Structure 1
Amino acid sequence: MSETGEGETTAAEPTSVLLLSGGERTRELAPAFERLGARVTVSDDMAAMTDADALTGLIDATGPRFVVADAGGVATDALLAAAEREDVDVFPTPRALRLSVDGEGLRRLAADELGLPTAPFWFAGSVEELTAVAQHAGFPLLVKPVAAVPGEGESVVLRSDDVEPAWRRAVAGGRLSLHRVLAETVVEVDVEVTLLTVRTTGPAGPTVHFCEPIGHHRPAPGTLESWQPHALSPAALDAAKSIAARIVNSLGGRGVFAVELLVRGDEVYFTDVRPRPQDSALVTLRSQRLSAFELHARAILGLPVDTIMISPGAMEIVDVDVDADPDVGDATLRAVLADALAVAESDVRLFPAGEGRGRRTLSTATAPDPIVARDRARRVASALRRLS
């Protein structure tokens, strides 16, 4: 499709959106479209989304103006065919969607074609190849699937005996059975940052907008903490924006892109990009005037955006073990929520148990500075852990 800002519909044609669901984040994205007058159909049938014929049938049946994939692994052949239609826009672009689940293709685009700075990396298709990489690269070495959500199937190889377990973990942890892994040198960094980059199009052509950097880390398995803003030096911030703009413009389309970066002093390394808001972006529900999900909806619909941060904020996601009992009494639930919400400027969201995992909790808080906000979010999360 062209990038001239098309996406407007006449008053007689209500905007229709087919949203291919990616889980809890879709619960934020669907209302964001609806509040802008769109009629939203949500599909969470992964079998239909990953089968080209089934997805084509779904698009034909719903007749959307926009098809928005909020999940990886969606059948790109069907999206390519839909994108050729005059009356349908597809976001992310099929190319961006394919690269979002192809770590090898994405890393080669970033490093080889665009010349973005990355940690030294290699790919391996067997234990033997990974062993040879380890012998050449040395230790420590980060090994992860070429197609996975952040943190899934990752491990750090410290010695030769760790290679085979790391291979098994990566192959088992990937969303797609590619039997191929990415190995990269462990770079000593100060922080991991998500730079939410909003790409819009209009009469003057494509434009990119940046949110304040979001710092994040995983203090324990099943836990993600993020905060906004994370202060970067002027040189690092300029480098981060340059990297983000180049990769996002290469992928094309409209919407929010979560560009993942490693930062050490003034040095910035590209590590990943997802053509949609990621879990770390949930902090924007409290910290920004428009959340990442509202920005995504606005950009896709061709509407004006702003990335104003209204307060420093922090959030913590905790995944409760799938084997834990998710049922709690009303009195216990109210008591836990009372303790959690007694923390100043806090909020909570409880997501139901999903297939293959237990309950997920989201703790958010704002404060005059991100350090206090992080402390508040941790206190909220600590109270909610009693639900497990």
Structure 2
Amino acid sequence: MEQDPENKITCLIHDDVMYFTKAVAKDLNIPNIMLRTTSVTNFLARTALLRLHSKGHIPFPDSQSLSPLPDFDPLRLKDLPTNNFDSLEKYSELVVNAHNVKTASAIVWNTTDCLEQSSLAQIQQQCPVPIFSIGPLHKIEAAASSSLLEEDTSCIGWLDKQSNNAVIYVSLGSVASISEKELAEMAWGLANSKQPFLWVIRPGSVNGSDWIELLPQGFIEAIGERGRIVKWAPQREVLSHRAIGGFWSHCGWNSTLESLSEGIPMICLPSFGDQKVHSRYVGQVWKVGLHLDNEVERGEIERAVRKLMVDADGEVMRVRAKNLKEKIEVSLRKGGSSYKFLNKLVELIMSL
């Protein structure tokens, strides 16, 4: 492969899952830098998953699901970042390739010291190349929306009419799906909470339905103007709105970072992969949210929403979330950890 002398590529930055691009860098005889867009804690949890699998402890019986993950407090076996889409063998192969840093010049991580100081310290001891934790990346440069779905910006006008910190924002991400029964339980849990809500129901995310035609009879009439349902929302703009007081999320890393960056406490309903790790950390380490541990049930949902949005416990979480937001902002300002690492990364690239 030959390069155009006038547009010569001097460095390749690639997602760690796109590990095959390392062969391109080798062919071009240029350095490669690995970009990891999930959390450091999830990376360590994936390593623990591989170790347990190699010893024959994975899969584990349901009776052990609440057992602590050895040397990884507060994670339990059920919190391991397993994948619903591939066999464990194929997933393990992907993880092994993604973890291979032998040819990398450095690793860029979308995280920050104030969120993952302990995990970062652990990974820095294990890793043979420099690590640059420069996140949250979405706060470094306000980019145009990268959403693959059309955002319904009309929900912002609806939020403008709501009181401060009054609205629970509900979005379970761009991949996960739910059953008709779970849809009904979520609907009545939200309705019975008596709290205003903005609910993203992605087209095709309800099994057997195109959009909201399977919502239970009487639900729309019951909520009136108190609820707003959209197909997709401009999430960063929503989370930064003064009316949002909580986020019911699947806890993907981007959503988790976006919520923490705006000081918004969370209700966590993870589905697979890293979501389970982040959900546990939201509730047990950062202590800025609640985890829906059991089957989706309207009574539990109603209690969780009211606890987060109305009760004193929720206010304590909101204060902690605001404190985390301030720490994240400090890390991004001149002299902060993410600011320093970003400048060091630029210096490294310029020196290559």
- Structure with higher helix content: 2
TM over 0.5: no
TM-score, normalised relative to structure 1: 0.28
Which is bigger in relative contact order (C-alpha 8 A, separation at least 6)?
2
User: What TM-score, normalized by structure 2, do the two folds share?
Assistant: 0.30
